[in-house]
Amino acid sequence: MKKLFILSLIILTFTNINAQDITVMSYNIRLDVASDVENRWDNRKEMLASQVLQKNPDFMGVQEALPQQMDYLNENLKNYKYIGVGRDDGKREGEFSAIFYNTSKYKVIEQSTFWLSSTPDKVSMGWDAACKRVCTYGLFENLKTKQKIWVFNTHFDHIGNTARQNSARLILDKIKAVNTNNFPFALTGDFNLEPDSEPIKLITTQLNDCRIVAEETSGSVATFNGFNMKEKPKVRIDYVFVPKTITVNKYETLVDVKYNRYPSDHFPVYVELTVK
């Protein structure tokens, strides 16, 4: 009996050592545009950065981030660096779908960005899309455990139905192509689609929607608030997807308000994961 107990303890200890707890956030930060008036970036950037630092995610995929916003976050999110490029020139111009990562816990092994189009390896517009769209991804290594994880982050077009359908296929194919070692991964983003849309249904044939499978959920179901403090948000278009082998312990939509203002016109999505 004693030997059996010791063996069980050893197995449990080994399992816990190899388990990897990961926190991931997806955040459409709303681009810096003068027409937002009181909700313009300068009036909410400190609140947004403070919100991120409070949750302290291992990884955060951002959408709609213009160069000056990336500069601010890069300077003010202490212990974070990012990967990603501007979608308009593959360097610095236009919106980023970047991935911030916690440098006290992870380092980058590989990184790249591709365009959501029929020519993904070069700056390009996809199908019937209204804008250039990209997906940034990276392979990260835990500094202590040496365990690796891929993170993909994207922002689908808001107009083109064909573009969104093909973008879903393209990203799923890319994940398969690069993840030859079958490492765990997460896909974050503003997909500009609700859960009953065909592209989201396609993604969930292969991956889990974290909100659906989470052991614990909190916050608003909807993720788009439009800066409207008077009406209850109704639209859910921001997601974190993971392989079906990953346990989703917690899913939270952050609905913080300060100075009678939201930090963005989207609520960020935050998840706590365990990879065994």
- For 56-94, what is each residue's pLDDT tens digit? 999 999 999 999 999 999 999 999 999 999 999 999 999
Q: Which residue from 110, 127, 131 is spatially nearest to 118, judged by alpha carbons?
A: 127
- For 160-210, what is each residue's pLDDT tens digit? 999 999 999 999 999 999 999 999 999 999 999 999 999 999 999 999 999
Q: What is the pLDDT of residue 263?
A: 98
Distance in angstroms (rounded) separating the CA atoms of residues 60 and 151: 9
CA atoms within 13 A on the CB side of 20: 22
Q: Is 265 helix (H, G, I), strand (E, B) or coil?
A: coil
Distance in angstroms (rounded) separating the CA atoms of residues 234 and 240: 18
Distance in angstroms (rounded) separating the CA atoms of residues 167 and 173: 10
Query: In the CATH hierarchy, which top-level class contains the domain 21-275?
Result: alpha beta
Q: Which residue from 202, 219, 209 is spatially nearest to 244, judged by alpha carbons?
A: 209
Q: What is the pLDDT of residue 276?
A: 87
Q: How far apart are the first and last CA of the chain?
A: 27
Greatest CA span in the chain, whole angstroms?
72
CA atoms within 13 A on the CB side of 207: 25
**Rounded to whole angstroms, what are the CA distances from 100 to 52, 53, 108, 187?**
11, 12, 11, 14
Q: How confident is the model at residue 2 (pLDDT cuts 50, 70, 90)?
A: low
- All residues at 6 or more sequence positions from 222 whose CB lies less than 8 Å from its CB, including other chains: 232, 233, 234, 235, 236, 253, 267
The angle at the Cα of 81, spanning 190 to 151, to the nearest 5 degrees, equals: 45
Distance in angstroms (rounded) separating the CA atoms of residues 106 and 145: 10
Question: Taking a C-beta distance cutoff of 8 angstroms, is the pair 30, 266 a contact?
Answer: yes
